[in-house]
C-alpha cells in the first residue's frame, strides 16, 4: 500500500470509528428522537450524526442535513434501496449510483442517466444479459462489448462489429466452440487456429486449412493414428513422419516411400535398432549412420567405415570410452585425445604420448592438481611454481613451499620476495584468517 493509500485508509478508519461512537450514543428508539440528538451536536458532528442515522434507518430525508456527506448518503441509500430517484440527488456520485442500480435491478434504462459511466453501464449490461443491441450505446467499449457478447451468446457474426478486435474475436470464438469456419476469418492466425481445432476435434480434414501448419497437422494425425497415409500429405514433415512411423512399427518398407530422403530414414532406423548393416542403404547418410552406430555401440571398428569422418569418429569414441588405444587413429586430434583421457583417468603415463613439451607439461600439471600429487609438479615445466602453489592452497601443506625456488642475489637488496616466501606468507595468511573466522 502506498503512502497516499495508507493515509486514506487511516482517515476512513477514524471516520468510521466516529460514526460508531456517535451511533452508540444515540439511545432513542425513533428516528425523530435520534434526529433531535443530532441537532444538539456541533455542525461537523451533526453532519456525521445525520449520515449515520439516515443509513441505519434508511431515512433518506436526513441526507439533506448531512452536509458534505450528502452525496455519499444518497448514493448509499440509492444502491441499498435500488432507488434511481435517490441517485438523482447523489451529486457527483449519481453516475456510479445509476450504474449500480442498473446492475442490481437488471434495468438498462438507468444507464442513460449514469453520466460518465453510461458507456460502461450499457457494455456491462449487454455482456451480462447477452443483449448485443445494447453494445451500440456502449461508446468506447462497443468493440469489447460485441466481442464478449459474441462469446457469451455463441454468435460469431457479432465479431464483424468488433473493429480492430475482429481477428482476435473470431480466434477466441473458434477455439471456444471448436468452429473451424470461424478460423477462416482470423487472418494471420488462420493456420494456428485450424491446427488447434483439428487436434481438439480429432478432425484431420481441417488440416488442409492449416496453412503453414498443414504438414505438422497431418504428421500429428499420422503419429496419433499410426496411419502412414497421413504422411503423404505432411509436406515438409513428410520424411520425418515416415521415419518416425518406420521406427515405431519396425517397418523398414516405409523408408522407401521417402524418395531421395530415404537415406535418413535408413540411418535413423539402423541406429534405433542397432543394425549397422542397414547403413549400407542409407545413401548420403551412410557415413553419418556408421558414425552414429560406432558411438552408440562403442564399436571402434565401425569408425573405419566413416570415410572423411574417421578421425572425428575415433576422437569422439575416445571421449565416450576413455580408451587411449584409439588415440593413434585420431590424426591431428591425437594430443587432445591423450590429454583428455590422461586427465579424466588421472594417468600420468599417458602424458608421454603428447607431441610437444608444453602439452606434456600441462598434462602433468593437470593431473598433479587433480590428485594433489606434488611430485608431478616437477614435470610441469615453467608452471612448476604455479602447480605447487595450487596444491598448497588446496592442502594447506606448508612443507610444499620448500620445493619452490628462491630469488638468489635479488633478495639481498630486499626488492623482491621469492616464490617460496610468497607461498609461506600466503599460507600463513590463509591459516590466520581461518583461525580468526573460527574464533
Q: How far apart, in whole angstroms, are the C-alpha atoms of residue 133 and residue 118?
A: 15
Q: Does 131 lie in the same domain as 87?
A: no
Nearest CA to 345 out of 380, 316, 314, 371 is that of 371
Q: Does 204 lie in the same domain as 221?
A: no
307's grid cell = 570415410
Q: How far apart, in whole angstroms, are the C-alpha atoms of residue 291 and residue 271?
A: 10
Q: Does 221 lie in the same domain as 155?
A: no
The total domain count for the chain is: 3
3-state class of 66 per DSSP? Answer: coil
CB 89 within 8 A of CB 63: yes
Number of H helices, E strands in the chain: 20, 0
Q: Which domain holds residue 92?
A: 25-113
Q: Does 37 lie in the same domain as 76?
A: yes
Residue 313 lies in a domain: no
Q: Does 230 lie in the same domain as 292?
A: yes
Domain end call among 209, 237, 258: 209
Residue 272 lies in a domain: yes
Residues 35/41/46/48 CA torsion (nearest 10 deg): -100
Q: Does 251 lie in the same domain as 204?
A: no
Residue 385 lies in a domain: no
**pLDDT one-digit tens code per residue, 56-92:** 888 999 899 988 999 999 999 999 999 999 999 999 9
Residue 260's pLDDT is what? 81
Q: Does 201 lie in the same domain as 244?
A: no
Cα four-point dihedral sign 387, 391, 394, 396: negative
How far the first Cα of the chain sits from its last, in Å, is 44
Q: Does 181 lie in the same domain as 150?
A: yes
pTM tops 0.85: no
CB 306 within 8 A of CB 294: yes
Q: How far apart, in whole angstroms, are the C-alpha atoms of residue 211 and residue 232?
A: 16
Residue 293 lies in a domain: yes
Q: Does 42 lie in the same domain as 93?
A: yes
Residue 369 lies in a domain: no
Q: Does 108 lie in the same domain as 65?
A: yes
Residue 417's pLDDT is what? 47
Domain end call among 242, 273, 297: 297
Say which DSSP state 186 is in. S
Counting as low any pLDDT under 50, the low residues of the chain are 1-3, 5-13, 16-17, 20, 24-28, 407-417, 429-439
With both helix axes pointing from N to C terminus, report the angle between 31-39 and 43-57 in degrees, rounded to the nearest 10: 170
Residue 391 lies in a domain: no
CB 378 within 8 A of CB 391: no
Q: How far apart, in whole angstroms, are the C-alpha atoms of residue 408 and residue 79?
A: 99
186's grid cell = 482470423
Residue 356 lies in a domain: no
Domain end call among 113, 136, 151: 113
301 by Cβ neighbours in 10 Å (0-12 / 13-18 / 19+) ranks as: exposed
43's grid cell = 455542525
3-state class of 107 per DSSP? Answer: coil
- Which are the contacts of 345, defined by CB distance < 8 A and separation ≥ 6? 322
41's grid cell = 451536536
Q: Does 129 lie in the same domain as 76?
A: no
Q: Does 191 lie in the same domain as 122?
A: yes
Residue 402 lies in a domain: no
Nearest CA to 39 out of 65, 77, 67 is that of 65
- Which residue's entry shows cell 555401440? 297
- Which are the contacts of 407, defined by CB distance < 8 A and separation ≥ 6? 416, 417, 418, 419
Residue 409's pLDDT is what? 40
Amino acid at each position: 500500500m502506498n503512502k497516499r493509500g495508507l493515509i486514506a485508509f487511516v482517515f476512513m478508519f477514524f471516520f468510521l470509528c466516529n460514526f460508531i461512537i456517535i451511533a452508540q450514543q444515540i439511545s432513542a428508539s425513533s428516528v425523530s428522537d435520534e434526529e433531535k440528538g443530532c441537532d444538539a451536536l456541533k455542525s461537523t458532528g451533526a453532519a456525521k450524526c445525520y449520515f449515520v442515522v439516515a443509513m441505519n434507518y434508511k431515512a433518506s430525508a436526513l441526507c439533506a442535513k448531512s452536509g458534505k456527506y450528502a452525496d455519499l448518503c444518497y448514493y448509499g441509500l440509492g444502491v441499498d434501496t435500488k432507488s434511481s430517484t435517490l441517485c438523482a440527488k447523489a451529486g457527483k456520485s449519481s453516475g456510479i449510483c445509476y450504474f449500480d442500480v442498473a446492475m442490481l435491478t437488471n434495468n438498462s434504462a438507468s444507464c442513460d442517466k449514469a453520466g460518465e459511466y453510461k458507456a460502461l453501464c450499457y457494455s456491462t449490461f449487454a455482456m451480462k444479459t447477452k443483449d448485443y443491441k445494447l453494445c451500440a450505446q456502449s461508446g468506447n467499449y462497443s468493440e469489447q462489448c460485441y466481442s464478449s457478447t459474441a462469446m457469451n451468446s455463441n454468435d460469431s457474426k457479432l465479431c464483424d462489429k468488433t473493429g480492430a478486435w475482429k481477428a482476435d474475436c473470431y480466434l477466441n470464438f473458434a477455439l471456444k466452440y471448436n468452429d473451424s469456419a470461424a478460423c477462416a476469418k482470423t487472418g494471420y492466425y488462420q493456420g494456428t487456429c485450424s491446427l488447434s481445432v483439428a487436434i481438439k476435434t480429432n478432425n484431420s480434414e481441417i488440416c488442409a486449412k492449416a496453412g503453414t501448419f498443414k504438414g505438422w497437422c497431418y504428421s500429428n494425425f499420422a503419429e496419433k493414428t499410426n496411419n502412414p497415409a497421413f504422411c503423404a500429405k505432411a509436406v515438409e514433415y513428410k520424411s520425418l513422419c515416415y521415419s518416425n512411423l518406420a521406427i515405431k512399427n519396425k517397418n523398414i518398407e516405409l523408408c522407401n516411400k521417402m524418395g531421395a530422403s530415404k537415406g535418413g530414414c535408413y540411418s535413423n532406423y539402423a541406429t534405433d535398432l542397432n543394425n549397422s548393416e542397414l547403413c549400407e542403404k542409407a545413401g548420403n547418410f551412410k557415413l553419418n549412420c556408421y558414425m552414429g552406430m560406432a558411438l552408440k555401440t562403442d564399436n571402434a571398428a565401425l569408425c573405419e567405415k566413416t570415410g572423411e569422418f574417421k578421425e572425428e569418429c575415433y576422437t569422439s569414441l575416445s571421449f565416450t570410452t576413455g580408451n587411449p588405444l584409439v588415440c593413434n587413429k585420431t590424426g591431428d586430434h591425437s594430443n587432445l585425445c591423450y590429454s583428455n583421457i590422461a586427465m579424466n583417468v588421472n594417468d600420468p603415463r599417458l602424458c608421454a604420448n603428447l607431441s610437444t613439451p608444453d602439452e606434456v607439461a600441462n598434462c602433468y600439471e593437470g593431473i598433479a592438481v587433480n590428485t594433489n600429487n606434488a611430485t608431478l609438479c616437477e614435470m610441469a615445466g615453467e608452471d612448476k611454481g604455479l602447480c605447487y602453489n595450487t596444491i598448497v592452497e588446496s592442502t594447506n601443506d606448508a612443507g610444499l613451499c620448500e620445493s619452490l625456488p628462491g630469488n638468489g642475489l635479488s633478495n639481498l637488496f630486499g626488492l623482491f620476495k621469492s616464490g617460496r616466501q610468497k607461498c609461506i606468507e600466503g599460507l600463513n595468511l590463509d591459516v590466520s584468517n581461518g583461525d580468526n573466522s573460527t574464533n
